[in-house]
Amino acid sequence: MKPETSDAHILMSMTYASRANPNVSAKDFNEILKQAQVNNAANGITGMLTFNKDYFLQTIEGPRAQINRLLYSLIADERHYDLQVIETRELTHRVWSEWSMNYATPTEKNAAIYLKYSTTIDFNPYLLSAQSANDLMDELSSKHN
């Protein structure tokens, strides 16, 4: 059956945390990022991805049907596991409209930002509230660079 696409005017955002599989390297991260940017540009999705230690934290935003379709792919993707949704919400405006997928890596400058949002010794996105996850992504983003 043809997938339902008639709700393209309804925008939503989803933020999740996951853990990279042990065999995923920095090179794999670059590939994930490139794949995300190419696909998202074609699918009307924008967002922000960060990784630190072996954790991913990502926000994807776009037409509801596309976000749900991507969620199925993400859950099936063996490069990471234990995907936990932190927040879903409807949007009137995109937060990451200028980026098919913005990203932040654990640079020295970013280390202090991750630490600011950590309640434990190490950064752990599973412990973040939705508000903190949004604030962290905002601070890490090149919006401030």
Ligand X SMILES: Cc1cc2nc3c(=O)[nH]c(=O)nc-3n(C[C@H](O)[C@H](O)[C@H](O)COP(=O)(O)O)c2cc1C
79 lies in the binding site for ligand X (CB under 6 A): yes
Both structure tokens of 14: 């989803």
80 lies in the binding site for ligand X (CB under 6 A): yes
Yes or no: say if 110 and 46 are a contact pair by the CB < 8 Å rule.
Answer: no
CB of 10 or CB of 75, closer to ligand X: 75
Burial of 117 (0-12, 13-18, 19+ CB in 10 A): buried
Angle subtended by helix axes 108-116 and 130-140, to nearest 10: 160
70 lies in the binding site for ligand X (CB under 6 A): yes
CB of 13 or CB of 40, closer to ligand X: 40
Which distant-in-sequence residues (6+ apart) come within 8 Å of 133 by Cβ?
15, 17, 57, 59, 86, 87, 125
CB of 40 or CB of 134, closer to ligand X: 40
35 lies in the binding site for ligand X (CB under 6 A): yes
Segment lying near ligand X (by CB under 6 A), choices 28-36, 90-98, 119-127, 137-145: 28-36
Site of interaction with ligand X (CB under 6 A): 32, 35-36, 39-40, 47, 49, 56, 58, 60, 70, 73-74, 77, 79-80, 101
